[in-house]
Structure 1
């Protein structure tokens, strides 16, 4: 027969062990996918642009900076806490429109921190966190050319960036409207704008915010205009992640949603779009679009343009 006084310490010890187990972080022994990869290697690799101001670019100190870099930095802080690695090494890997998806799917980069459009076609290969920007595809041209509408591009040479959504939109409208446009591709926005600047292309099709930025950086900003007519509906930018990695996506979604609902995102936006930006101190004077304000109030990773209309 058990002694009643001896059974109590055993029960207390068992209860203590049980409660202690519950108190342990669930992820401590259960990291999978990208989080496990990051923990095991003690590093995270960010896919970044070296010439995409103010989203992601290199400043005079050869440091990657920008609006999306700031957002990704908040995500990295959350990942450090999640995997318990305060000394986590953060690597920056330059990417282009053509390489960003392959480098994500093959595991080379863990977060893509630039200005990539979230759409259904890309969702077949990768996934995205909550939108950090909303834009529309338009074209820039020289005022002297007096090209005001998409139909005015008939028979002309038009440039955009290889691998971009804009190329798809140009080709679609070119076919539908039988415009006879000669479509040129450039490796990045800087090369594309150079073709416009040197009259090797009559127009440059790109997201309106990027066109505004490139014009502001040009030798003669007053020489250019941006079309009022858009090639399509509003388009969300999202930070790209690998597909089928629910724990990692949940962490990134939670982190971005908290940031976007906070006053901090307004300060980050004003820093890069409404204040002098390094290295030249240019203010792009691009107020936050109403669609983006709505996206921050109601964070969403939807690729559907309707989700961003007011």
Structure 2
């Protein structure tokens, strides 16, 4: 009997140790974000980006990350003196990846909103956008009122989803996790139109004949910024200083010319999209 009790006690102790190890994972919901010095010492910064949102964050035919946000991420890593690891995120997972410390920074076309500010800390902005709506030229949507009773495709966790849910409940929303799924649904005719940032729908329409952006600007003019875990003041301060300093060399205009201009051509003006040194003009 004593031997059985001893075995049982040993088993419970082992399970307790195992459980403790499991709940103290460095990437759990209570995990503390890394400081700038800790990132430098590790030799690597981990940045969450989109993998299917050309030309802002995507994986090219060689398996490499490219795009406007990635161009910025590469410069951050260079100025920190570390390597960069890109982690693919979806719109709805951006906040969670910071809260759970899966990444150090999110650079994924992240629109600054009051609701999101409660969960993450945003840097100074580096881009400005509004919502846009793209649809087939055969049944072009040119006014938001035209969407009533129709199906609008959006991605979960985006400002487009929030905007239409709050302001146009008569519009039927077809929601997807990934942008590639959403755009495929539009191509397949599963929805009448698709809404997301106007900079994105413009780029997509240019590359997809038969589709146009019938509503070029909807809602407020918002800003895009990098984000870090709530309370990570050290990394936030470093990034804000980086953005200010990069503005002195017109870095984000150079980023635009390298990554966005080849897509937009004359259809867009860099000054209507780019923000330098965090100052919105």
- The two structures share one fold, judged by TM-score above 0.5: yes
Q: Which of structures 1 and 2 has the bigger CA Rg?
A: 1
Shift of 1:56: 1.2
Aligned to 1:72: 73
Paired residue secondary structure (2:124):
coil
Deviations 1:75-114 (A, max 9, x none): 222323xxxxxxx342221111122211111111001122
Q: Which runs of 4+ in 1 moved over 4 A?
A: none
Give the whole-Å Cα distance in 2 for the aligned partners of 1:58 and 1:292. 23
Shift of 1:122: 0.6
Tell me, yes or no, if structure 1 residue 199 matches structure 2 residue 189: yes
Give the whole-Å Cα distance in 2 for the aligned partners of 1:40 and 1:115. 28
Q: Could you tell me which of 238, 260, 264 is aligned with 2:225?
A: 238
Assess if the C-alpha contact under 8 Å between 2:57 and 2:67 holds in 1.
yes
Shift of 1:239: 1.3
Q: Could you tell me which of 142, 147, 150 is aligned with 2:141?
A: 147
Tell me, yes or no, if structure 1 residue 288 matches structure 2 residue 275: no
Structure 1 unaligned segments of length 5 or more: list them.
Answer: 1-31, 81-87, 276-282, 301-307
Paired residue secondary structure (2:220):
coil
Deviations 1:229-282 (A, max 9, x none): 63311111111112212221111111111112313332221111212xxxxxxx
Assess if the C-alpha contact under 8 Å between 2:111 and 2:222 holds in 1.
yes
Aligned to 2:58: 57
Kindly report the root-mean-square deviation, in angstroms, between the aligned alpha carbons of the 2 structures: 2.0
Give the whole-Å Cα distance in 2 for the aligned partners of 1:233 and 1:117. 11
Assess if the C-alpha contact under 8 Å between 2:127 and 2:223 holds in 1.
yes
Larger fraction in strand: 2
Range with greater deviation from structure 2 (97-106 or 261-270): 261-270
Would you say how many aligned residue pairs link Structure 1 and Structure 2? 248
Give the whole-Å Cα distance in 2 for the aligned partners of 1:228 and 1:289. 19
Assess if the C-alpha contact under 8 Å between 1:56 and 1:114 holds in 2.
yes
TM-score, normalised on structure 1?
Answer: 0.74
Q: 1:146 to 1:269 in 2, by over 3 A?
A: closer
Give the whole-Å Cα distance in 2 for the aligned partners of 1:171 and 1:236. 20
Tell me, yes or no, if structure 1 residue 185 matches structure 2 residue 172: no
Structure 2 unaligned segments of length 5 or more: list them.
Answer: 1-32
Deviations 1:101-150 (A, max 9, x none): 11111111001122111111111111122212111102111121142211
Tell me, yes or no, if structure 1 residue 211 matches structure 2 residue 201: yes
Give the whole-Å Cα distance in 1 for the aligned partners of 2:245 and 2:151. 44
Tell me, yes or no, if structure 1 residue 266 matches structure 2 residue 253: yes
Paired residue secondary structure (1:212):
helix
Aligned to 1:224: 211
Aligned to 2:131: 137
Tell me, yes or no, if structure 1 residue 45 matches structure 2 residue 46: yes
Assess if the C-alpha contact under 8 Å between 1:170 and 1:231 holds in 2.
no
Q: 1:197 to 1:203 in 2, by over 3 A?
A: same
Paired residue secondary structure (1:160):
strand
Q: 1:265 to 1:289 in 2, by over 3 A?
A: closer
Aligned to 1:252: 239
TM-score, normalised on structure 2?
Answer: 0.81
